[in-house]
Amino acid sequence: MTARRISPLRAVWVAPALLVLGGLPVAPARAQATPPEAAPPATAPVAASDVPTGVRAIRGLLEQRRYIEAAQAGEKLVREHQDDADAWIALAYVHLTPEWAFRRDARAASAAQRAIKAGGRRPDAVAALAIARARLTEYDEALALIAEMCDATPPRVAGDQLAELLVLRADLAIKRAGGDPTVQAALLLDLDRAIAAAPRASGARVLRAEALMNVDRHEEALRDLEVALDVAPGSRQAHAAARICRQRTGDAAGARRHHEIWKRLNRLSDSVASASAPDEQERRSTLRELAELNPRDVDRRVELAVLELKLGDPAAAQRQCDALLALRPGFAPWLRLREQAAAAARAVGAGGG
Amino acid sequence: MGSGAARWAALAALAVPTVAGGARAGEPDGPWFVERPDSGVDFVHRRFMTTGKKYLCETAGAGIGLLDYDGDGRLDLYCVQSCALPGYDGAPEVAVDRLYRNLGGFRFEPVAPVVKVRVRGSDGVEQVMEKPLGLGDARYGMGVTCPDVDNDGDPDLFVANVGRDALYRNEGDGTFTDVTERAGIVDDGWSTAAGWADLDGDGDLDLYLANYAKIDYATYKPCTTRNRVSYCHPDTLESAPDRLWRNDGDFRFTEVTAEAGIVEPDEGGKGLAVIPFDHDGDGRLDLFIANDADENYLWMNRGGMKFEEEAGFWCVDVSGRGASQSCMGTDLADVDGDLDLDLFAANFGKEPNVLYVRGKDGVYDDRSYPSGLGEPSYLFTGFGARFLDYDRDGDPDLVVVNGHIVDDAEEFDPTQTFKQVPHLYANNGSGQFKSVGSSLSPFFSTPRVGRGLVSGDLDEDGDLDLVVLDNDGPLVLLENRGTPAGGWISFALVGTKSPRDAIGAVVTIECAGKRQAQPLVGSSSYLSWSDLRLFFGLGAVPADATVSATIRWPSGLVQSLERLAAARVHRIVEPR
């Protein structure tokens, strides 16, 4: 039994959980982008002799976007450790990963329930169940779980997790009765509270901006969006909201700039199949444009550097790394990438000679 | 607005003081919309499923057209059919599109392949002779439109197919002639929606043809989900480009897609609806294109048959949260009574239907959730969508027919089903909607795979009836028998400088201090063509109330009319 155990994994599941709203990063985005080489090594199928090892492996797979393998590893882990709440929570969060097209919300819910059965009403398990219930449009059940976590005195969750659940409640309120002024006021209170708990929660900032725009408080909305974009400069949703907000405040040029960025971000991520998705050449070209338009988006710039290297332009990769390192001198993953690019450039030079 | 039987009975009891043609007090309580299986329409759509391939088009069709093909003043019915595609392993079966003639009183008869026509001989003597109907398209049908292509006063027919499309000229004697080749509208791809509008201001209807995807039966790669062949996600198919043809008159067209600037960004979109309307009020008709799983387009008409795409700028490309949607059935109406036009599109399951409400600056605001249309539609895959004032209370309500595209959706997602109930949303007059269908008719509680949807006054009683076509299912006629909240007035527009169908016109009326605006769109809903007459409900107004109207014709001419009698269809001819 693991009921007595305080989950060592909570931090592990913050990142997937914050994507609960389909693109709303509630907590801060990764502090610094790292190229794929820097991701933790994954082993699949996972040889899960113990739960922490298995969970670490699943986390590694998720970070590499190897979702199916992560789900398989999760299923294997819970088969081998049926009474372990951490194992079930790991599986639940695999199926809560919003960008995985074939995730199964129902499996997330059943895994979270098993986690509760095994480990009691731990905040991470209840939060996972709330998210899954919301995804399954079982809103009343989700709201009850959120209330259990957030409205207790003191709240049973704090920080990013509190913010995440409050954002989810606000989002459900918008869905169910967004036009009702009373609901608007209540959801703004929830979002204020979420931002107080996690001031740099970009998802909460974006959602509050949307709510403020609905009541014509555009200047305040813009301030939220600026924070959101500072935290997550590659957020499609934040750029979309900023476009609308600036358009309404008469800043046509600003609106167009956000739209141009949004269009390129959307192009990179909108299609789920190769027939419609950009090929590598187009992807590189789009990333180059994004690097000019939105230089703060280091995730995309790292992706660009990797792609430049892959497509045989190590000099361009080096330039991109130099630009990144100017933002954060000495950052090891970027230094390693630059070294790879330099080595490739030398090889090209040697081959050419 | 209230809803349900209680409201239905309450309204009857009120005996609303309407103009003639208003409340039918004293009628027994009953459903507002009544299915009419006794109408004589026996059409059943077949999708001809290929078990080993599951071409996506099988689950996409089909549309319905309402047209008075024989000029008797009653709306007839054109139904689009599919056919067996390579790999079909079911029983052999011949199926073709069908035309049904409206006999009045909600009775229809199928029009035979050979019809009797009256012909006046050289000696001046009229004879009756047999002549082929000229219809019966047997390709894999998607959509139908019924524009008066040659401005001769009768509706012609354009059928969008997977494969060669077909343009039929109405000969005015109850028969049609296939003029596709002569017209030069040759498109062998997967066409869906055809938008007809006078885009170059020369008084005839040009054609914007939305295409979906490239499909090659020989190389079609089936998609699998959990080791089962399943209908593919649209992204797995390469988009087919939309095309634009200029009408040069006499059923001759010239393709002008590239010259006009209709160059779709990126990989192109998968078009499913075309709505012509003058977005920027410059007197030229612009085009809204609803795309499936891609950004929508708003082609701004710059004059001289030149277009620029600006959906993003006006915020109708994606949802308010910046996500591309799977827009399907689409319609246009003034939902909030501010006299400008708002756009609606039905979306895929787990995307709410989207309502773009136009702001004063012309920028649209995604009001899906605040309007009440988001949450009830979230789990449903919407196709046919029509605004209509079903209860004549003076605002546009909305009907959406639903049905997933994956025939075993239940297997993959417990929140989804293949068959889904249709929705009727009542508008409270300020753009707030409430789902009320299930209280108005059992039809709205019956799951189905809804696709085509049209509205029109089929029985000439001043209210709007509905026709729904299911994928791989029957066509359903729904008679509007409710007790309306008020009177009505209708306009049948006849263009002279504008195309005869007057598509793109906007009629604004005022009655007892209330103003309403309605656009004439033509192609709308999903792959379908509704009654071209505009019907306004007047709400509860004094019996002697009259109506004033302003018509903005596509030619730019603005015509004002005063003291129009309610409870009748006004045939308005554009002043020359």
Question: Is there a contact between B239 and A276 if contact means CB atoms under 8 Å apart?
Answer: yes
From chain B, the residues in CB contact with A244 under 8 A are: 315, 320, 363, 365
Q: How far is CA B196 from CA A163, B207, B267, B346, B502, in A?
A: 50, 5, 25, 21, 10
| DSSP structure string for A287-341 | HHHHHHH-TT-HHHHHHHHHHHHHTT-HHHHHHHHHHHHHHSTT-HHHHHHHHHH
Tokens 């799983």 belong to B293
**Residue A39: predicted pLDDT:** 42
What string of pLDDT tens digits covers the 576 residues of chain B? Answer: 333 333 333 333 333 333 333 334 334 467 899 999 999 999 999 999 998 889 999 999 899 999 999 999 999 999 999 999 998 988 888 899 999 999 999 999 999 999 999 888 888 888 999 999 999 899 999 999 999 999 999 999 999 999 999 999 999 999 999 999 999 999 999 999 999 999 999 999 999 999 999 998 988 888 887 778 889 888 888 899 999 999 999 999 999 999 999 999 877 899 999 999 999 999 999 999 999 988 999 999 999 999 999 998 899 999 988 888 999 999 999 999 999 999 999 999 988 999 999 998 899 999 999 899 999 999 999 999 999 999 999 999 999 999 999 998 888 788 889 999 999 999 999 999 999 999 999 999 999 999 999 999 999 999 999 999 999 999 999 999 998 989 999 999 999 999 999 999 999 999 999 999 999 999 999 999 999 999 999 999 887 899 999 999 999 999 999 999 999 999 999 999
Does the CB of B375 have a partner CB in chain A at under 8 Å?
yes
Question: Is there a contact between A175 and B375 if contact means CB atoms under 8 Å apart?
Answer: yes
Question: Is there a contact between B315 and A247 if contact means CB atoms under 8 Å apart?
Answer: yes
Strand partners, B168: B157, B178
Q: Are B363 and A250 in contact (CB under 8 A)?
A: no
Q: How far is CA B83 from CA B140, B221, B240, B453, in A?
A: 5, 20, 21, 21
Identity of the residue numbered A251? D
From chain B, the residues in CB contact with A106 under 8 A are: 413-414
**Residue B307: predicted pLDDT:** 98
Task: Among B312, B324, B361, select the one facing A270 at the smallest CB separation.
Answer: B324
- Closest CA of chain B from A251, distance in Å: 12
- Burial, B37: exposed, middle or buried (Cβ in 10 Å; 0-12, 13-18, 19+)? exposed
SS percent in chain B: helix, strand, coil, step 5: 10, 40, 55
| Positive or negative torsion for Cα A93, A99, A104, A109 | positive
Q: How far is CA B141 from CA A50, A72, B149, B163, in A?
A: 58, 43, 20, 8
Question: Is there a contact between B320 and A179 if contact means CB atoms under 8 Å apart?
Answer: no
From chain A, the residues in CB contact with B293 under 8 A are: 271, 276
| DSSP structure string for A56-74 | HHHHHHHHTT-HHHHHHHH
- Closest CA of chain B from A311, distance in Å: 21
- Closest CA of chain A from B355, distance in Å: 13
Number of inter-chain CB pairs under 8 A, A vs B: 103
- Non-local (6+) Cβ contacts of A27 within 8 A are A14, A15, A18, A160, A163, A164, A198, A201, A202, A203
Question: Is there a contact between B379 and A244 if contact means CB atoms under 8 Å apart?
Answer: no
Give CA–CA dist B235/B233, Å, rounded: 5
Measured CB to CB, residues of chain A less than 8 Å from chain B are: 22-23, 102, 104-106, 136-137, 174-176, 178-179, 210, 214, 236-237, 239-241, 243-244, 247-248, 255-256, 259, 262-263, 266-267, 270-278
Strand partners, B178: B168
Give CA–CA dist A135/A110, Å, rounded: 13
- Non-local (6+) Cβ contacts of B253 within 8 A are B183, B184, B185, B206, B207, B245, B246, B247
What digits encode the pLDDT tens for the residues A314-346? Answer: 999 999 999 999 999 999 999 999 999 999 998
From chain A, the residues in CB contact with B411 under 8 A are: none
Q: Which helix (H) or strand (E) holds A229?
A: helix A218-231
Question: Is there a contact between B370 and A214 if contact means CB atoms under 8 Å apart?
Answer: yes
Select the residue from A202, A239, A248, A271 to test the B interface by mutation, using most B Cβ atoms within 10 A: A271
**Residue B135: predicted pLDDT:** 96
Give CA–CA dist A230/A224, Å, rounded: 10
Does residue A19 have a pLDDT over 70? no
Give CA–CA dist A54/A46, Å, rounded: 6
From chain B, the residues in CB contact with A263 under 8 A are: 312
Q: Please count the helices (runs of H) and the strands (runs of E) in chain A.
A: 17, 0
Identity of the residue numbered A3? A
Does residue A226 have a pLDDT over 90? yes
Question: Is there a contact between A278 and B266 if contact means CB atoms under 8 Å apart?
Answer: yes
Give CA–CA dist A305/A337, Å, rounded: 8
| Positive or negative torsion for Cα B122, B124, B130, B136 | positive
Task: Among A102, A104, A273, select the one facing B236 at the smallest CB separation.
Answer: A273
Q: How far is CA B449 from CA A60, B45, B139, B404, B420, in A?
A: 42, 11, 21, 7, 6
A153 falls in which pLDDT band (50, 70, 90)? very high
Select the residue from A206, A210, A264, A266 to test the B interface by mutation, using most B Cβ atoms within 10 A: A266
Task: Among B236, B322, B371, select the one facing A240 at the smallest CB separation.
Answer: B322
- Non-local (6+) Cβ contacts of B128 within 8 A are B116, B117, B118, B119
Tokens 């906007």 belong to B506
Question: Is there a contact between B238 and A275 if contact means CB atoms under 8 Å apart?
Answer: yes
Residue in A closest to B324 by C-alpha = A270
From chain A, the residues in CB contact with B235 under 8 A are: 271-273, 275-277
Strand partners, B514: B511
Does residue A95 have a pLDDT over 90? yes
What digits encode the pLDDT tens for the residues A76-88? Answer: 999 999 999 999 9
- Closest CA of chain A from B83, distance in Å: 26
| Positive or negative torsion for Cα B257, B262, B267, B273 | negative
Mean pLDDT of chain A: 84
From chain A, the residues in CB contact with B372 under 8 A are: 179
Q: Which two tokens stand for residue A184?
A: 């608007």
Task: Among A102, A176, A272, select the one facing B235 at the smallest CB separation.
Answer: A272
Helices A139-150 and A123-135, packing angle to 10 deg: 150
- Closest CA of chain B from A74, distance in Å: 18
Give CA–CA dist B183/B263, Å, rounded: 23
Question: Is there a contact between A275 and B415 if contact means CB atoms under 8 Å apart?
Answer: no
ipTM for the complex shown:
0.74
Q: Which two tokens stand for residue B73?
A: 């003043």
Q: Omega into A3 within 30° of 0, i.e. cis? A: no
- Closest CA of chain B from A301, distance in Å: 21
Question: For the stretch B288-300, what's the b/e string if a residue is b when 16 or more beta carbons lie within 10 angstroms of its beta carbon?
Answer: bbbbbbbbbbbbb
Select the residue from B369, B377, B406 to test the A interface by mutation, using most A Cβ atoms within 10 A: B369
Give CA–CA dist A344/B460, Å, rounded: 78
DSSP code, position B72: S
pTM for the full predicted model: 0.86
- Strand order in B475-480's β-sheet? B33-35, B475-480, B465-470, B450-456
**Residue A33: predicted pLDDT:** 58
Identity of the residue numbered B510? E
- Torsion angles phi and psi, residue B159, rounded to 5: -110, 120
Question: Is there a contact between A179 and B363 if contact means CB atoms under 8 Å apart?
Answer: no
Question: Is there a contact between A106 and B294 if contact means CB atoms under 8 Å apart?
Answer: no
Give CA–CA dist B127/A41, Å, rounded: 88
Q: Which helix (H) or strand (E) holds B172?
A: none
Q: Are B1 and B439 in contact (CB under 8 A)?
A: no
Q: Which two tokens stand for residue B105?
A: 């009183």
From chain B, the residues in CB contact with A175 under 8 A are: 352, 369, 374-375, 378
Question: Is there a contact between B322 and A22 if contact means CB atoms under 8 Å apart?
Answer: no
Tell me how long chain A is: 353
Q: Are B148 and B172 in contact (CB under 8 A)?
A: no
Does the CB of B391 have a partner CB in chain A at under 8 Å?
no
Helices A123-135 and A159-177, packing angle to 10 deg: 20
Give CA–CA dist B134/B299, Å, rounded: 35
Give CA–CA dist A19/A13, Å, rounded: 11
Task: Among A210, A237, A275, select the one facing B237 at the smallest CB separation.
Answer: A275
Does the CB of B26 have a partner CB in chain A at under 8 Å?
no
Identity of the residue numbered A254? G
Give CA–CA dist B158/B349, Å, rounded: 30
| Number of CB atoms found within 10 A of residue B360's CB | 7
Does the CB of B127 have a partner CB in chain A at under 8 Å?
no
**Residue A352: predicted pLDDT:** 52
Does the CB of B315 have a partner CB in chain A at under 8 Å?
yes
| Domain A1-154 indexed as CATH 1.25.40.10 | yes
- Torsion angles phi and psi, residue B507, rounded to 5: -110, 125
- Closest CA of chain A from B375, distance in Å: 6
**Residue A18: predicted pLDDT:** 37
From chain B, the residues in CB contact with A215 under 8 A are: none
Q: Are B189 and B142 in contact (CB under 8 A)?
A: no
**Residue A102: predicted pLDDT:** 79
Q: Which two tokens stand for residue B134?
A: 């000229």
What digits encode the pLDDT tens for the residues A33-54? Answer: 555 544 444 444 445 579 999 9
Give CA–CA dist B509/B550, Å, rounded: 6
| Number of CB atoms found within 10 A of residue A221's CB | 27
From chain B, the residues in CB contact with A270 under 8 A are: 294-295, 324
Question: Is there a contact between A137 and B363 if contact means CB atoms under 8 Å apart?
Answer: no
Question: Is there a contact between B322 and A237 if contact means CB atoms under 8 Å apart?
Answer: yes
Residue in A closest to B431 by C-alpha = A179
A258 falls in which pLDDT band (50, 70, 90)? very high
Give CA–CA dist B260/B123, Å, rounded: 50
A274 falls in which pLDDT band (50, 70, 90)? low
Domain ranges of chain A: 1-154, 297-353
Q: Are A162 and A26 in contact (CB under 8 A)?
A: no
Closest by Cα among B469, B466, B448, B449 to B527: B469
From chain B, the residues in CB contact with A236 under 8 A are: 322-323
From chain A, the residues in CB contact with B237 under 8 A are: 275-276
**Residue A275: predicted pLDDT:** 67
Give CA–CA dist B12/A12, Å, rounded: 63
Give CA–CA dist B20/A39, Å, rounded: 76
